[in-house]
Every structure is written in C-alpha cells, then in structure tokens.
C-alpha cells in the first residue's frame, strides 16, 4: 500500500537505531521470497542459501528489501536512495498548507476499527511471545493504536510495506511474504487488498504464515473510487469479501464505513471529475471535503441496518486459521442479509 502523508522524521540516527532494533527481532523468521529457502546475512545484504536460487536482497537504511528477483511490479532498485526513508512522504514547507491539510475533514466515518483493534488487543494481551505482521503498515492505520497499546511485552511487531515510511521495518510484496510458515499470531491487512494484483494469492500467503489458531484482520473497500492511482485494482461486496477469506473461520465481520461514507465519497469524486489538471483536482478535492464531509454522519443511524451491507463504503473481517476449514459456496450464499434479489 502506498500512501502520501505529512511526515516529519525524527533524528535520522535515532530513527535508524530503532529500525535496526526492530529488524533484529524477526530476522530468524525470514525466508527467500523467490524459492522459500533459508536466508543468510552478510553486512548489508541477505543471501538465499539455496544453490539453485542465487538471489540476494539488499538492506537499505537498515530495512531489508525482500523483493524477489522476478517480481513483475517492483524492483529492488526502486528502493535504493541517497536520502533517509522519509523522502517518500509528502512534506509541506508552507505553514499555511500544513494548516489547511490539518483542517481538512475526512469524508469517511470509521468508528469500527478502534473497537475491533481493542478487542483483538485484549485477546492477545492474555498470551506470551506474541508475533504480529502488519501488511501495508508504513503508517498507522485507523484505530491501530488501540491494538498497539494493549500488546504484551516482548511482542514481535513486523510493519511491512512496499514503501518507506515512519513505521516500515521490512519491504516486500505481499504476493510473496518472506516469512516461514506458522510465524505469526495475527496478520493485519487494513486498506491493502484493493491495491494488490491478486488478492487471493495474498490471502493464501497470509494463511501460510499464520500459526494454527492465529487471526487475520482485514478492512477492504466496496463503494470507494480510485484512491491509489495505478496501484488500485479491486473492490469487494460483503459476500465477495467473505469468500476471499473462505479458508478462515469467521470470528466477526461487518461494515467498517457505511452508506453515508459511500455517498460522501461519490459526491467528492463527482466534484473532482470536473478537473482538467492535477492542480485543479487538488483544489476541487479540498473544497469537496469541506462541502460533503457531513454526509458521512448518516452512518450513525444506517450502519446497524442489514440493508447497509449492500451499499457500504467498506467491510472488515476477523477470521481464525483452522487447518482443513473451508467455507462452502452454499454456506456462503446463506450469509446474504440484504434485500437485493
């Protein structure tokens, strides 16, 4: 997941020290994304230990770049930079622009993430030696601090992405997650699966790296317009989202942002569709946020209706890995709760 935000980096030396400390905690779990063999490390590079593979992976600013040799979208060289990682994040030097950015209201009403993360955090707090993988975690997702503040001591927290960011401690493509089987107690994919070429392959990888009884937490849009440029590929209905996770036993699922948010998104993009240039688009987008943000508050009264599932802005799913479990298609169809026949 690639996002552009305002970000002001801490002291670079301190930043690199923290990243190195995090990286050392999960090095023993890494495998080659090309062939899944074990990796060896020498100075600023990982090497595949399989004689039939020969791939190696650089460590850039103390962040392993585990992009496989034959990746069709990303190249290892994409991440070679001569400056600290925060160069990938948009910074406004003008205090006026920073103020306007801060004052822009969101068009999405999401009060579900905090509740879900709090519940998951309370569950994990009962365990020891917890390991968590966040896919698309270069920045904090909505509500994730509710999880982080509940984590037990000595938790292994791996925050991955295909972009440098304030949280990134490893870079990889989620179609080939470079971790051993049964490595994690929780995998998070929040606002990610719409941005991958093959979401089913990514979910299969999540299943592989989860421990038996481990949890997956996903949030994925349905009624949202393009927001990732050329890296925006998929949308899911409620049932489509459930089938994506057909090999996970459901713990909970539902609307993460409802019809009010969907309408606010549509109105915003209707306004910006009049733009003929990027600058005009940016101005119209800002004005649209000011004009239509209030529409999202209809979610407060609509989200509890089953009919909201047919017009939601996005869904969440919490599932547990149980070996051998598969949701059948007839069982899937029985889960429909709306009224659109």
Which token pair is 168? 């990134």
Q: Provide the pLDDT for residue 163.
A: 86
Q: Provide the pLDDT for residue 180.
A: 97
In the numeric block, the tokens 């601090």 are attached to: 145
Q: Provide the pLDDT for residue 12.
A: 40
What is the secondary structure of 26-59 as a DSSP string? HGGGBB-TTT--BEEEETTEEEE--TTT--EEEE
Pairing of strands 170-172, 156-161: parallel
How far apart, in whole angstroms, are the C-alpha atoms of residue 277 and residue 282?
9
- For residue 18, the surrounding DSSP H or E stretch is helix 12-26
How far apart, in whole angstroms, are the C-alpha atoms of residue 316 and residue 116?
9
List the 131-135 sheet strands across, edge first: 39-42, 45-48, 56-60, 63-66, 170-172, 156-161, 131-135, 184-190, 210-221, 314-321, 248-257
Q: What own/partner pairs with CB < 8 Å and gap ≥ 24 does 96-99 have? A: 98/6
105-333: in CATH 3.40.50.150? yes
Give which of 144, 120, 133 is closest to 209, Cα–Cα. Answer: 133
Q: Provide the pLDDT for residue 21.
A: 43
pLDDT tens-place string over residues 270-294: 999 999 999 999 999 999 999 999 9
Q: Provide the pLDDT for residue 89.
A: 52
How far apart, in whole angstroms, are the C-alpha atoms of residue 112 and residue 296?
14
Q: Provide the pLDDT for residue 88.
A: 44
pLDDT tens-place string over residues 121-156: 999 999 999 999 999 999 999 999 999 999 998 899
Q: In order along the chain (341 residues), what is the average pLDDT of each group of 10 residues? A: 32 39 81 95 92 91 91 88 53 77 92 97 94 94 96 93 90 96 97 97 98 98 94 96 98 97 98 96 96 98 94 98 96 92 72
Q: Provide the pLDDT for residue 80.
A: 82
Contact 317, 114 (CB under 8 A): no
Tell me if the pTM is above 0.85.
yes
Report, in angstroms and rounded to the nearest whole number, the Rg of the chain calculated over CA atoms. Answer: 21
Which token pair is 321? 């890995």
Q: Provide the pLDDT for residue 175.
A: 96
Q: Where are the domains of the chain?
A: 12-97, 105-333
């Amino acid at each position: 997941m690639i996002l552009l935000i305002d970000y002001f980096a801490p002291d670079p030396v301190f930043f690199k020290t923290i990243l190195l400390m995090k990286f050392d905690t999960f090095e023993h779990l890494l495998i080659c994304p090309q062939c899944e063999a074990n990796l060896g490390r020498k100075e600023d590079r990982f090497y595949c230990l399989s004689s039939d593979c020969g791939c190696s992976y650089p460590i850039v600013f103390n962040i392993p770049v585990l992009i496989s040799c034959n990746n069709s979208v990303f190249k290892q060289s994409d991440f070679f930079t001569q400056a600290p990682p925060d160069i990938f994040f948009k910074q406004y030097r003008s205090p006026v622009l920073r103020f306007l950015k801060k004052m822009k209201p969101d068009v999405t009403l999401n009060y579900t993430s905090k509740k879900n993360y709090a519940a998951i955090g309370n569950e994990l707090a009962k365990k020891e030696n917890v390991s968590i993988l966040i896919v698309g975690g270069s920045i904090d997702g909505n509500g994730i601090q509710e999880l982080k503040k509940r984590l037990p001591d000595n938790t292994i927290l791996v925050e991955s992405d295909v972009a440098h960011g304030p949280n990134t401690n490893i870079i990889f493509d989620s179609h080939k997650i470079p971790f051993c089987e049964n490595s994690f107690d929780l995998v998070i994919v929040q606002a990610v699966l719409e941005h991958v070429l093959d979401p089913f392959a990514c979910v299969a990888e999540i299943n592989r790296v989860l421990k038996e009884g481990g949890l997956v937490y996903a949030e994925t849009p349905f009624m949202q317009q393009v927001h990732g440029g050329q890296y925006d590929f998929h949308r899911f209905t409620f049932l489509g989202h459930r089938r994506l996770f057909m090999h996970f036993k459901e713990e909970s699922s539902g609307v993460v942002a409802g019809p009010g948010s969907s309408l606010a998104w549509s109105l915003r993009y209707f306004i910006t569709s009049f733009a003929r240039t990027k600058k005009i688009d940016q101005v119209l987008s800002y004005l649209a946020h000011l004009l239509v943000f209030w529409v999202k508050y209809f979610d407060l009264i609509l989200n509890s209706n089953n009919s909201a599932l047919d017009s939601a802005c996005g869904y969440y799913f919490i599932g547990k890995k149980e070996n051998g479990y598969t949701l059948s298609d007839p069982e899937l169809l029985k889960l429909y709760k709306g009224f659109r026949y």
